[in-house]
Amino acid sequence: MGETKNAEAADSPSDSDILKEAFGVWGLSVLIIALLGVIAQMVPIIADNLLAFVAATFLYLPAWALWRRRLELHDFGLTAQPVRLGLFYLFLATIISLPPFIFGWSLYQTHVKNKAVDLNLEKMYRFDRILDGRPEFPLDTSKLSVWIEGEYLVLVWPGDGPVEVNIRLGPPERGVPMKQVQGLSISDDGLRFGSRGRLEVKMNGDSTWSRPNAGGLRFSVRQTQSIRIDANHPIATGRWAAASDNPIEEKRTYWWWLLMLVNQLVLVALPEEWFFRGYLQRRFDQVWTPTWRILGTNLGWGWIASSTMFALGHLIHNTSPDRLAVFFPSLLFGWLRARTGSVLAPTIYHAVCNVLAQGLVYTLA
């Protein structure tokens, strides 16, 4: 819907040429992203901006392939038009699919994973997302690694020599004790609890924990309102091990929702939707004519192929089979693309789903 004939009129390559181009662009993207992951281990500026480099790859490669054939990008869905139609189906997809997903996810966590789920808005009152998540091992031995994992603030120093850290935790709302400290030691595959640590940490100016050997410490920050960390060494934060200001000063807020949504839209959803739904799905549809009528929309093998390649792409930096589950929401992204003729609706819906998935993780007790 909303497609023009310009894409076919401007250039008329054979079906085999189109397939070679599409699979070639996808294969080149896989190679570039894999190389970026390797280079990121050695070049800090790549590691700190890996998501941006991946986004640029997804945005540019399809555009380059289409420009070579003098094709218009808006004929492949890189347009907001028709806005009203896109927003209508975005709203429809959201209210129909997300409540059952939340319910099913809660059942899975409680009955399969045996975890407690607390769907409480207070769970969303969090520190900046830059601190969230454990980074991949091995850690950068030149930086003090700091992250929040669950209700704990974790500090790990994997390098040589002493590091002095001053931590100030803002007062908890309900008198929750702050001096819940556990020592950590570093193993080949991650962290273990123990008495080892090579940190000298002073918290709130009056309590000091010193671990002279190796590893780190973790502190309970449950209901703590603010964090200030001042170290005499460079700091890396969160799952991306991004270079951080020193000192780190963070307060709990609800604003991370908006910041995360913008981040997802610009660096994740738009590049991926343009690449897989705008370009690949459309290219495949030009070869394999959609003949299936699904919920008022014509779909075909291009819909399946692009979603399969989308799922496989998620294994590049993380080979866990769980990553392949993105195939199923990808089918809905592809349906939205075909129904509206634009990547507008699937892009926004994709970003909302990612933010929701992250928010649900915070509800686990």
Dihedral of the alpha carbons of 234, 238, 243, 247, in degrees to the nearest 10? -50
Element (H, E) at 32: helix 15-40
Question: Which residues lie below 8 Å from residue 53, measured CB to CB, with a gap of 6+?
Answer: 36, 46
Q: Are 300 and 291 in contact (CB under 8 A)?
A: yes
Is there a cis peptide before residue 321, judged by omega within 30 degrees of 0? Answer: no
Q: pLDDT by residue (tens digit) across 228-287?
A: 888 888 898 988 777 777 888 888 888 888 888 999 999 999 999 999 999 999 999 999
Global confidence as pTM:
0.80
Phi and psi of 55, rounded to 5°?
-60, -45
Return the structure tokens found at 357: 């998935």
Q: Each residue of 129-148: b (16+ CB within 10 Å) or e?
A: bbbbbbbeeebbeebbbbbb
Return the structure tokens found at 59: 């945005």
Q: pLDDT by residue (tens digit) across 310-363?
A: 999 999 988 888 889 999 999 999 999 999 999 999 999 999 999 999 888 888
Q: What is the DSSP string of 119-167?
A: --GGGG-B--GGGBSPPPSSPPTTSEEEEEETTEEEEEE-SSS-EEEEE
Cα 261 to Cα 129: distance, rounded to the nearest angstrom: 11
The two beta strands, 242-243 and 190-193, are unpaired
Cα 327 to Cα 142: distance, rounded to the nearest angstrom: 38
Question: Which residues lie below 8 Å from residue 164, measured CB to CB, with a gap of 6+?
Answer: 200, 202, 231, 232
The two beta strands, 190-193 and 199-203, are unpaired
Number of H helices and number of E strands within the chain?
A: 11, 14
Cα 272 to Cα 280: distance, rounded to the nearest angstrom: 10
Q: pLDDT by residue (tens digit) across 43-55?
A: 878 877 889 999 9
Closest by Cα among 244, 219, 184, 230 to 44? 244
**pLDDT above 70 for 207:** no
Average pLDDT, rounded, for the chain:
85
Residues facing 200 on adjacent strands: 164, 210
Question: Where along the chain do its domains lie?
Answer: 6-108+257-361, 131-251
Closest by Cα among 253, 252, 235 to 244? 235
Closest by Cα among 4, 30, 6 to 313? 30
Residue range 68-96: mean pLDDT, rounded: 95
Closest by Cα among 297, 243, 283, 271 to 354? 271
Higher-pLDDT residue of 364, 190: 364
